[in-house]
């Protein structure tokens, strides 16, 4: 546990979609996260790859209607662009985890150089058991990546390149030996509802009843199963997708009204109120902060 004090250490971070979509300051960032009070993250995606290794207490992750229970010592790898959320108090009051984030462009360049760009971990969630993660000392590799940040800038990329190459070689070895832990089967109802929302969230007429009708179930049954497997309500998940879209449009320079309408919000005043409730600032203040 003493090593975490040599890492960037964050306690009870309340992740926002803006933070999740931010660009990394360097090719690889390693952070030690502790969660005591904040026990769940919002649904989010990253423009980079993210490897998470629980050190104390496990975690429960939701993505695409599937639940992934990760125990101490396991590792889960999220490809960039994959929506997911996490719950951190599943078996302990305090959760400690090592999070390694790898720039998407840097990852892709390395993957192409090694001829691994079509590997399974490029597009699906990958889980490595504690036994295999310990055998290959993934924690040691990630901690080594953290130390690389202390090197002069002119040396960092070369060292990161070697470390990422080592990580990908380990992934390839585990893939060829069928040593990846198979993720749990997605709940068919939750998976269908998530896909429907992700495909149609920009339609302002879509609501909870439409999702239930599409899935041929009652609204009550859908709501119960959806929350169990995504850790969010249907309405909350839909709002999250729309808000992330609107924030991207605003960051690209679109006017706020246009960004809200094209993201599926039919009532502008309601959009502004919801935006401020979620992020603590108005859309106009958010646009000013970007400038």
Quote the pLDDT of residue 171.
96
What DSSP character marks residue 84? B
Share the mean pLDDT of the chain: 89
The pLDDT of 134-163, averaged and rounded, is 94
Helix ranges restricted to H, 177-218: 188-200, 208-215
List phi, psi (to 5°) of 46: -125, 155
Residues 6+ apart with CB under 8 A from 209: 219
Q: Would you place residue 1 in the very low, low, confident or very high pLDDT band (cuts 50, 70, 90)?
A: very low
Query: Order of strands, edge to edge, in the sheet holding 59-63?
Result: 66-70, 59-63, 85-87
Contact (CB, 8 A) for 190 and 212: no
Count of beta carbons in the 10 Å neighbourhood of residue 137:
12
The pLDDT of 203-211, averaged and rounded, is 93
Say how far apart CA 180 and CA 194 lie, in whole Å: 25
Give residue-wise pLDDT tens across range 129-138. Answer: 999 999 999 9
Q: Would you place residue 2 in the very low, low, confident or very high pLDDT band (cuts 50, 70, 90)?
A: very low
Quote the pLDDT of residue 230.
87
Give residue-wise pLDDT tens across range 16-62. Answer: 666 777 788 999 999 999 988 878 887 888 889 999 999 998 899 99
Sign of CA dihedral 203, 206, 212, 213: negative
Contact (CB, 8 A) for 117 and 111: yes
Residues 6+ apart with CB under 8 A from 106: 27, 28, 160, 164
How distant, in Å, are the alpha carbons of 56, 81, 82 from that of 50?
18, 10, 10
Q: Which CATH number fits domain 188-290: 3.40.50.2300, 3.40.50.150, 1.20.1250.20, 1.10.10.60?
A: 1.10.10.60
Quote the pLDDT of residue 16.
67
CATH class of 2-176: mainly beta
Give residue-wise pLDDT tens across range 153-162. Answer: 889 999 999 9
Contacts of 133-137 spanning 24+ positions with Cβ under 8 A:
133/53, 133/73, 133/74, 133/75, 134/73, 136/170, 136/174
Give residue-wise pLDDT tens across range 165-205. Answer: 999 999 999 999 888 887 776 788 998 999 999 999 999 99
Q: In terms of pLDDT, which residue wins out, 16 or 4?
A: 16
Strands 48-56, 66-70: pairing is unpaired
Contact (CB, 8 A) for 43 and 84: yes
Span of 3-7, 10-14, 22-26, 28-32 with lowest mean pLDDT: 3-7
Q: b/e per residue, 142-179, with b = 16+ CB within 10 A?
A: bbebbebbeeeeeebeebbbebbeebbebbeebeeeeb
Using DSSP's 3-state secondary structure scheme, residue 233 falls into: coil
Domains of the chain: which residue ranges?
2-176, 188-290
Span of 5-14, 75-84, 107-116 with lowest mean pLDDT: 5-14
């Amino acid at each position: 546990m003493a090593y975490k004090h040599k890492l960037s250490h964050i306690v009870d971070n309340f992740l926002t979609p803006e933070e999740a979509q931010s660009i990394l300051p360097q090719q690889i960032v390693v952070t030690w996260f502790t969660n005591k009070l904040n026990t769940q993250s919002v649904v989010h995606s990253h423009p980079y790859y993210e490897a998470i290794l629980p050190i104390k207490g496990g975690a429960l992750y939701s993505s695409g209607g599937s639940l992934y229970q990760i125990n101490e010592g396991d590792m889960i790898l999220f490809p960039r662009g994959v929506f997911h959320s996490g719950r951190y108090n599943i078996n302990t009051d305090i959760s400690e985890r090592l999070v390694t984030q790898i720039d998407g462009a840097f990852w892709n360049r390395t993957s192409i150089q090694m001829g691994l760009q079509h590997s399974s971990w490029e597009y699906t969630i990958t889980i490595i058991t504690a036994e295999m993660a310990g055998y290959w000392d993934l924690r040691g590799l990630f901690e080594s990546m953290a130390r690389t940040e202390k090197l002069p800038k002119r040396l960092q990329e070369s060292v990161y390149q070697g470390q990422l190459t080592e990580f990908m070689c380990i992934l390839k070895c585990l893939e060829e030996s069928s040593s990846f832990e198979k993720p749990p089967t997605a709940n068919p109802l939750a998976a269908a509802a998530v896909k429907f929302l992700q495909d149609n969230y920009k339609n302002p007429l879509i609501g909870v009843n439409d999702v239930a009708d599409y899935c041929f179930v009652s609204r009550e049954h859908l709501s119960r199963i959806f929350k169990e497997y995504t850790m969010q309500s249907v309405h909350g998940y839909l709002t999250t997708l729309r808000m992330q879209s609107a924030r991207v449009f605003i960051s690209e320079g679109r006017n706020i009204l246009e960004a809200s309408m094209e993201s599926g919000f039919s009532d502008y005043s309601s959009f502004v109120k919801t935006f401020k409730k979620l992020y603590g600032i108005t859309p106009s203040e958010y646009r000013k902060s970007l400038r």
